[in-house]
Amino acid sequence: MIDTLKAAWRLPDLRKKLLFTIMMLIVFRFGSTIPVPGVSSLEKLVGDSSTLSLFGIMDLFSGGAFSQATIFAMGISPYINSSIIIQLLGVAIPALERLQKEGEEGRKKIQSLTRIVTIALAIIQGIGLYFLMNNYKLLTGGATFVGGFIVVTTLAAGTAFVMWIGEQITDKGIGNGISLLIFTGIVARIPYIIQKVAKNYAISTEWYWIALIVIYALGMIAFVVYFDSSERRIPVQYSKRVVGRKMYGGQSSHIPLKVAMAGVLPIIFAISILAFPTTIIQLFTGKTSASDIATIHPFLGKVVEAFSSKSWVYALLYFLLIIAFTYFYTSITINPIEMANNMKKNGGFIPGIRPGKPTSDFIGKSINKLNIAGSLFLSIVAIVPIIIGLFSSRFSSIGLLGGSSLLILVGVALETVKQIEAQLMMRHYKGFLE
């Protein structure tokens, strides 16, 4: 591996891309330390970091920028939401669907539309955060029009700049820029996680609890790597065609279908849905804990307690929502009929399966079978930390080591390594993945 890194560093173009990526990530981390004028710490909104919440996920993805109320507090979350919205609308709006099929030109138009929606969402989200800060008395200068304009403009500009950094990394660097920014934010929180785990067990002489947490983390990483790399390969044979005096086709290929086709999105969707009732209640009551809310309204206090990640109700709903969103997202992003038609147009067929509807039915059944394994995989990764924490408060800190963060870390790391490997293979160097 060291020899491979040396070989990669010797390539001028690849070295330039690596250095550009590193510099952009440094700029991102530097911006995460610049505070927003007129706002104190937002740690009160994040609450207990060992529990799952909407603001907790924002803080995790931004590398702590949200809790520290910096200019990158909203991070890349508006861009993620915008991309998801555009992708979902592409199924319902024919014009967007046509753009998605127009190749590079269509991709550029969709990217421009995504940027516009991102800025709009950033402004709306910034206004909502400003009113939330006012309710929680987190504005150092009080609520004024000028102060609100500065806060909202700063947060929206920070999101636009982060989006620009991500796109620059994608175009001129190595890997997917947006994914690398999220990856960097999560990695930046690792020292905090280690500090929190060490603090929880510093007063205990039972050192084996820490050993169990380390074993759990390594086991979950191995589990995620195995399933994230797993795929079902459907063989495809292309028939021979004679064009003029030349013969084309006749080669064999395959359709790779990953077990976790939906990636981490079902987990993010599930967390957002489950965090919505609690966020709305906290917004209108100005309280964060279930006990404080119960003093105002007992029923609302019970709702907040039920939707806390430390309850069995939350664990059950979380499990069911991940399975439901896995099937939903896969059904709108992968079209077996379109895959079968494209295969037929190019003279391809699955051995033993007739072209047309039988092929689309076969692909659809294969996807549904993979969704069973994929949804269970995502559910296990997401809820195991919660279930363990329910049985023992000693393990409450491992909630920071599972779920979406672990999937993103492993997925982005593997994808980036594969891209470096591809760059090296083109130049006949031995790579990482031997």
Show the tokens assigned to 363.
């692909």
> Is residue 200 assigned to a domain?
no
Q: Residues 196-210: what's their mean pLDDT?
A: 62
More confident residue, 239 or 246: 239
Mean pLDDT, rounded, of the chain: 80
**Percent of the chain residues topping a pLDDT of 90:** 11
Same domain, 293 and 316: yes
Same domain, 225 and 129: no
Q: How far apart are the first and last CA of the chain?
A: 10
Show the tokens assigned to 192.
């905090």
Q: Do the beta carbons of residue 241 and residue 346 sit within 8 Å?
A: no
pLDDT computed for residue 350 by the predictor: 86
pLDDT at 286 > cutoff 70: no
Map the chain to HEC letters: CHHHHHHHHHCHHHHHHHHHHHHHHHHHHHHCCCECCCECCCHHHHCCCCCCCHHHHHHHHCCCCCCCCECCCCCCHHHHHHHHHHHHHHHHCHHHHHHHCCHHHHHHHHHHHHHHHHHHHHHHHHHHHHHHHHHCCCECCCCCHHHHHHHHHHHHHHHHHHHHHHHHHHHHCCCCHHHHHHHHHHHHCHHHHHHHHHHHHCCCCCCHHHHHHHHHHHHHHHHHHHHHHCEEEEEEEECCEEECCEEECCCEEEEEEECCCCCCHHHHHHHHHHHHHHHHHHHHHCCCCHHHHHHHCHHHHHHHHHCCCCCHHHHHHHHHHHHHHHHHHHHHHCCHHHHHHHHHHCCEECCCCCCCHHHHHHHHHHHHHHHHHHHHHHHHHHHHHHHHHHHCHHHHHHHHHCCHHHHHHHHHHHHHHHHHHHHHHCCCCCCCCC
Per the structure, the count of domains in the chain is: 2
> Is residue 198 assigned to a domain?
no
Same domain, 115 and 219: no
pLDDT at 369 > cutoff 60: yes
> Is residue 199 assigned to a domain?
no
Q: Residues 374-387: what's their mean pLDDT?
A: 85
pLDDT at 23 > cutoff 60: yes
Same domain, 262 and 408: no
> Is residue 330 assigned to a domain?
yes
CATH of the domain at 261: 1.10.3370.10
Same domain, 266 and 358: yes
Same domain, 183 and 221: no
Strands 252-258 and 246-248: unpaired
Same domain, 268 and 388: yes
Please list, residue by residue across 61-95, b when 16 or more beta carbons sit within 10 angstroms of its beta carbon and e when fewer do. Answer: bbbbbbbbbbbbbbbbbbbbbbbeebbeebeeeee
Same domain, 2 and 126: yes
Identify the band that residue 394 occupies on the pLDDT scale cut at 50, 70 and 90.
Answer: low
User: Which span out of 38-52, 145-159, 256-270, 346-360 was modeled with the highest average pLDDT?
Assistant: 145-159
Q: Do the beta carbons of residue 381 and residue 407 sit within 8 Å?
A: yes
Q: How far apart are CA 377 and CA 410, in angstroms?
A: 14
Single pTM value for the model: 0.80
Residue numbers of the domain that contains 44: 1-188+404-434
More confident residue, 139 or 404: 139
- Pick from 175, 179, 168, 170: nearest CA to 419: 175
> Is residue 194 assigned to a domain?
no
More confident residue, 340 or 297: 340
Same domain, 408 and 398: no
pLDDT at 384 > cutoff 90: no
Same domain, 62 and 172: yes
- Pick from 78, 255, 247: nearest CA to 160: 78
> Is residue 195 assigned to a domain?
no
Same domain, 86 and 225: no
Same domain, 396 and 424: no
Per-residue pLDDT tens for 216-245?
Answer: 778 888 888 888 888 888 888 877 665 666
Q: Residues 179-191: what's their mean pLDDT?
A: 85
> Is residue 327 assigned to a domain?
yes
Per-residue pLDDT tens for 38-95?
Answer: 888 888 777 655 455 677 777 877 888 888 889 999 888 888 888 888 877 877 788 8
